[in-house]
Amino acid sequence: MGVTKGDGAILKKRVVVTGVGVVSPIGIGKEAFWRSLISGKCGIGQITHFDASSYPCKFAAEVNDFQATDFLTPKSARRISRGTQFAIVSTQKALEDAQLDLSKEDPYQVGLSYGTALGPMDIYEKFGATFYERGLKRVNPFFLGMMNHNAMIGAMADAFDIRGYNTAVSAGCSSGNVALANAYYVVSSGMAEVLVTGGVDTPIYPLTFGLYSASHSMSSLNGHPHKAMCPYDKRRAGFILGEGSGTLILEELEHAQKRKANIYAEILGCGLTNDADDATVFSPEARDMIKAYQIALTQSSLEPADVDYICGHAHSSIVLDKKETTVIKHVFGEHAYRLAVSTIKAMVGHSMAGGTAMQSVAACLALKEGILPPTINYEVPDPECDLDYVPNLPKKRKIQTALVNSFSLGGTNVVIILRNW
């Protein structure tokens, strides 16, 4: 646990980010992802994973250049879901970026906290199709070990011989950053020296896509796919589903310094709340999201004016983009208009846990590089969304403190605050 003072108070250990890795529709690995972000590249296109001609929305942000066997043995790739493949590869990339050799670490001091909103949807759909079309005798028994959320974590632990703290986090779209907040608490309390964290989702399959289509939450803009998502813009009409994963390596500061690690950022604090409202898919009430911001600021010993940049959740929702803006203005007052706020979702789509983890990766890179990724497709201002959204072009700005916020189906709100190292 944490170090104890003479008066019995617990001193938190300091936690830093030392590596990041991504599998995304705009690039695999940190370098490709970052180049695409700052160039405003959009990964949304026509669906190729299945025949979507009968669906009202025909676009998705797919990872089209991913071949599992480029990174995994054919046998290993066959025995895990597509999402698990993404998570393992993004973790491999993050460990390489951190220059962290886990074989030299105490495996019980290394842990996993990884998020997924939906789990291995390809396995569910394959199992269902096989069972109902061909009968029980044709069901692959390996499906049992592949089809739950924790199977993804188990496969990751096996791939990297991680034997310490581990948990699969499912908290809706926020899962990637809820997992990150959980990892921060584990390391800061002294329960582990290293945590692999982040999130992944792969929802682009017929049944899953159909359920989202039925909810009428996806974009109705069926013109050019690159214009289908326009967060904070007055024309916004819903999100486009994406897929991908983002991984961050968290270390206790002394551990990182001892091995002379490259440090992206220090995590100062996190705030988590729930709307506790099941009457609507997303509560219009802003109170609980505001409280998550306030908890994170208090935990970080910061004033609102200390924050320079927000990597926002906005995914082109008519209601939620406005709600997020309203919350920012409430929490930050006049400083809200001096903040830079941008979202990466119009580039990578809405990949739920993967997308929220990518937000945190993007914030770490923005802190390190002194460049803010743009909000693409911001063309028609909305009077109710009137902040500096870094429209269309990246902005060079050396920032010290970045905030990442995510919120999700089920009412989970999470805010994470990062400081430049």
Give the residue numbers annotated as catalytic, written as ranges. 173, 313, 350
First to last CA, the chain: 24
- Contact, 364 vs 20, CB < 8 A? yes
Show the tokens assigned to 153: 């974590």
Residue 221 in 3-state DSSP? coil
Closest CA to 419 of 331, 287, 299: 299
Show the tokens assigned to 205: 């399959």
- Contact, 32 vs 25, CB < 8 A? no
Closest CA to 182 of 302, 85, 267: 267
Helices marked H in 12-57: 30-39
Show the tokens assigned to 187: 């390391």
Q: How far is CA 406 from the centre of its chain?
A: 8
Q: How far apart are the C-alpha atoms of 200 and 119, rounded to whole Å?
A: 8
- Provide the β-strand partners of residue 112: 166, 196
Helices marked H in 99-251: 121-134, 149-160, 175-188, 206-214
b/e burial code for range 93-117 (CB count within 10 A of at least 16 → b): bbbebbebeeeebeeebbbbbbbbb
Closest CA to 405 of 271, 283, 306, 277: 271
Residue 142 in 3-state DSSP? helix
420's enclosing H/E stretch is: strand 412-420
Closest CA to 417 of 371, 364, 358: 364
- Contact, 120 vs 141, CB < 8 A? no
Burial class (CB in 10 A: 0-12, 13-18, 19+), 61: buried
- Contact, 81 vs 152, CB < 8 A? yes
